């Protein structure tokens, strides 16, 4: 048992694992630094290894039978208490994640932490409202039962770690599974606060476990453990391939929410001011948003009008410290990621793509200017691969068919955004686009009961609503012959 809490923005945060209800350290650590000031070391975080993974899965296995047997009402009460505690600790969680990940403080407080609480309430209520399907056929009374599946491993990425982790942890716990969560090593601290709150909310020890460490080390060990019955992953396609192999070896169901290269399609009949303003939002969080519409596809007849409005909206952005209310663009997460993003820009220029604006790093900060590139062709790397930074591309199309073809022309299919003034076109184009979600004349509006996931390189499986509860359950058909008597 250890407790080497550190103060981050005045909040005491444990840099250790939470296993079986107790804080546990590791012989080695890794440094966690702040994107707001890279010289600012936040914590030496426990670097879990294969033995940490085994101990965490041991705890999840031990806690599973009682949690599964507890039933939806008892589990739901725990989830609701956790949601209330998240609300009560909003300022602490937001403050810590802002300096750890870089996300704008106001956005954290108003949007992402609040969504964490909503995630737990939503899944507690959905699990409670579930009615088993019952019907008679072929002389039998049939019931479809959701049985908790077992320990679930949840692996999350560095962008929006608190919101994304709660989005995945909530359905697993509500369905009766126990959880081992491994957040990303670049932003590990807000999930440690979540771990504290699970203890305070009265979750039995071992129901929720947190393991810190490097993906290729403790992450790989967790997903390889044959006792794990579900793997839920959000991150890059490269990592999904590794995890998918481990899931295949153990025949374990696996969902993967992966990257995106979403189009933002602007038709000439659209409200161009609204479209341009929304396009400028794609630079928020320095473009480190999987759902962002990073390929601007604009009807050729309004290209210049759109670009002028877009440029004006982008010019209103303020790059700065994420805690400052005036800042609208947060810094990027890590110097390595800045280099990766600048590499895309350099290769684009070398290949003949044209930089319309931006493309430079800002001083010695982790900011890269909002950047717009007009590619030489649709096969340019910067059009086809996810950059995950403040880099958008601009292309034009002649008509609706070409717009749809261009929008559907990458290997990804997570999200798509369309701006049009025509309801008929909204319906037609919306149906023709290949993406897990299509927003028309809006962006990021989420109904948590709707399916959420990607097509192609953007992922496998669906989260959201009953889709996630079904994933975390073993569905069983019980058939009892009619006329069976005691
Ligand atoms: P990543 O794939 O590098 O890492 C994600 C997680 O996987 C981290 O916790 C990491 O430690 C772990 N990991 C790495 N190798 C592992 C291995 N061999 N075994 C087990 N775990 C391993 O992704 P990232 O750079 O942290 O996140 C950015 C990516 O996530 C982008 O592609 C982005 O689009 C995507 N993303 C998708 C969604 C979505 O909902 N579809 C949401 C947010 C981010």
More confident site: 22 or 2: 22
- pTM, rounded to two decimals: 0.96
Residues of the chain with pLDDT > 70, as a percent, come to 99
Residues of the chain with pLDDT > 90, as a percent, come to 98
Instruction: Please give the mean pLDDT across all residues of the chain.
Output: 97
Contact status, residue 252 vs residue 297, Cβ threshold 8 Å: no
Q: pLDDT tens-digit profile of 315-369?
A: 999 999 999 999 999 999 999 999 999 999 999 999 999 999 999 999 999 999 9
Q: Is 211 helix (H, G, I), strand (E, B) or coil?
A: coil
Structure tokens at 62: 């031990």
Exposed / middle / buried, residue 161 (Cβ in 10 Å: 0-12, 13-18, 19+): buried
For ligand 1, the distance from its centroid to the CA atom of residue 114, given in whole angstroms, is 23
Whether the pLDDT of residue 23 is over 80: the answer is yes
**pLDDT number for residue 1:** 46
Q: Is 387 helix (H, G, I), strand (E, B) or coil?
A: coil
Domains with residue ranges and CATH for the chain: 6-258+454-478 (3.40.605.10), 262-440 (3.40.309.10)
**pLDDT number for residue 6:** 97
Question: Torsion angle of alpha carbons 282, 283, 288, 292, nearest 10°?
Answer: 10
Range 465-471, long-range pairs (CB < 8 A, 24+ positions): 465/126, 466/126, 466/130, 468/123, 468/168, 468/171, 468/175, 469/123, 469/126, 469/127, 469/130, 469/146, 469/171, 469/174, 469/175, 470/146, 471/171, 471/230, 471/232, 471/253, 471/255
Number of C-alpha atoms within 13 angstroms, CB side, residue 476? 9
Rounded average pLDDT over 92-96 = 97
Q: pLDDT tens-digit profile of 257-267?
A: 999 999 999 99
Rounded average pLDDT over 292-307 = 98
For ligand 1, the distance from its centroid to the CA atom of residue 236, given in whole angstroms, is 5
End-to-end CA distance of the chain: 53
CA–CA gap between residue 7 and residue 5 (Å, rounded): 7
Rounded average pLDDT over 386-392 = 98
Residue 3 pLDDT level (bands cut at 50, 70, 90): low
Closest by CA to 346, choosing from 361, 362, 325, 327, is 361
Exposed / middle / buried, residue 158 (Cβ in 10 Å: 0-12, 13-18, 19+): buried
**pLDDT number for residue 416:** 98
Q: pLDDT tens-digit profile of 304-328?
A: 999 999 999 999 999 999 999 999 9
Q: pLDDT tens-digit profile of 186-243?
A: 999 999 999 999 999 999 999 999 999 999 999 999 999 999 999 999 999 999 999 9
Whether the pLDDT of residue 377 is over 80: the answer is yes
Catalytic positions, written as ranges: 257, 290
Return the bridge partners of 372, or none. 357, 392
Rounded average pLDDT over 397-413 = 98
Q: pLDDT tens-digit profile of 450-466?
A: 999 999 999 999 999 99
Residue 484 pLDDT level (bands cut at 50, 70, 90): confident
CA–CA gap between residue 320 and residue 106 (Å, rounded): 13
Residue 483 pLDDT level (bands cut at 50, 70, 90): confident
Q: pLDDT tens-digit profile of 103-152?
A: 999 999 988 999 999 999 999 999 999 999 999 999 999 999 999 999 99
List b or e across 40-65, with b for residues whose CB sees 16 or more CB atoms inside 10 angstroms. eebbebbbbbeebbebbbbbbbebbe
Closest by CA to 323, choosing from 160, 108, 113, is 108
For ligand 1, the distance from its centroid to the CA atom of residue 182, given in whole angstroms, is 11
**pLDDT number for residue 486:** 64
Q: Ligand 1 pocket: which residues have CB below 6 Å?
A: 155-159, 164, 182, 184-185, 215-216, 219-220, 223, 234-236, 239, 242-243, 257-260, 290, 386, 388, 414, 454, 459
Q: Is 70 helix (H, G, I), strand (E, B) or coil?
A: helix
> What is the position in ligand 1's atom list of the atom closest to the CA of 452?
40
Rounded average pLDDT over 8-28 = 98
Whether the pLDDT of residue 2 is over 90: the answer is no
Cβ-based neighbours of 384, under 8 Å, separated by 6 or more: 261, 378, 410, 411
CA–CA gap between residue 94 and residue 13 (Å, rounded): 13
Structure tokens at 346: 């350099």
Question: Torsion angle of alpha carbons 93, 95, 97, 98, nearest 10°?
Answer: 150
- Which residue out of 53, 213, 236, 286 has the highest number of ligand 1 atoms within 8 Å of its CB and is therefore the one to mutate? 236
């Amino acid at each position: 048992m250890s407790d080497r809490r550190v103060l981050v923005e005045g909040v005491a945060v444990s840099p250790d694992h939470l296993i079986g209800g107790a804080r546990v350290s590791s012989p080695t650590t890794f440094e966690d630094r702040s994107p707001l000031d890279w010289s600012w070391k936040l914590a030496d975080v426990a670097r879990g290894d294969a033995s940490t993974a085994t101990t965490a899965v041991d705890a999840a296995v031990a806690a599973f039978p009682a949690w599964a047997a507890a039933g939806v009402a008892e589990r739901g009460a725990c989830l609701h208490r956790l949601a209330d505690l998240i609300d009560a600790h909003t300022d602490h969680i937001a403050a810590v994640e802002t300096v750890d990940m870089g996300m704008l403080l106001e956005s954290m407080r108003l949007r992402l932490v609040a969504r964490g609480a909503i995630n737990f309430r939503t899944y507690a209520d959905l699990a409670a409202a579930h009615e088993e399907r019952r019907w008679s056929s072929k002389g039998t009374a049939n019931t479809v039962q959701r049985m908790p599946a077992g320990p679930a491993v949840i692996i999350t990425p560095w962008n929006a770690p608190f919101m994304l982790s709660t989005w995945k942890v909530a359905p697993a716990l509500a369905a009766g599974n126990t959880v081992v969560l491994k957040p990303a090593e670049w932003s590990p601290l807000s999930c440690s606060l979540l771990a504290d709150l699970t203890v305070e909310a009265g979750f039995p020890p071992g129901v929720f476990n947190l393991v810190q460490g490097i993906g290729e080390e403790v992450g790989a060990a967790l997903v390889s453990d044959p006792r794990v019955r579900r793997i839920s992953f959000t991150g890059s396609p490269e990592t999904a391939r590794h995890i998918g192999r481990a899931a295949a070896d153990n025949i374990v169901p696996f969902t993967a929410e992966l990257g995106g290269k979403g189009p933002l399609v602007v038709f000439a009949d659209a409200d161009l001011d609204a479209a341009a303003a929304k396009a400028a939002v794609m630079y928020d969080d320095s473009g480190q948003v999987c759902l962002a519409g990073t390929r601007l596809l604009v009807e050729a007849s309004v290209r210049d009008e759109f670009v002028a409005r877009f440029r004006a909206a982008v010019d209103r952005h303020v790059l700065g410290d994420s805690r400052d209310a005036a800042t609208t663009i947060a810094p990027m997460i890590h110097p390595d990621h800045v280099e990766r993003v600048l590499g895309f820009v350099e290769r684009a220029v070398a290949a003949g793509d044209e930089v319309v604006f931006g493309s430079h790093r800002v001083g010695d900060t982790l900011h890269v200017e909002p950047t717009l590139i007009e590619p030489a062709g649709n096969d340019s790397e910067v059009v086809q691969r996810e950059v995950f930074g403040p880099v958008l591309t601009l292309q034009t199309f002649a008509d609706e068919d070409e717009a749809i073809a261009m929008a559907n022309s990458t290997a990804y299919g997570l999200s798509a955004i369309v701006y049009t003034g025509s309801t008929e076109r909204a319906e037609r184009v919306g149906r023709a686009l290949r993406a897990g979600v299509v927003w028309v004349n809006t962006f990021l509006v989420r109904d948590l009961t709707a399916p959420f996931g990607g097509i192609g390189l953007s992922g496998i499986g669906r989260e959201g609503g009953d889709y996630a509860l079904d994933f975390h359950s073993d569905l069983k058909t019980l058939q009892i012959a009619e006329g069976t008597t005691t």
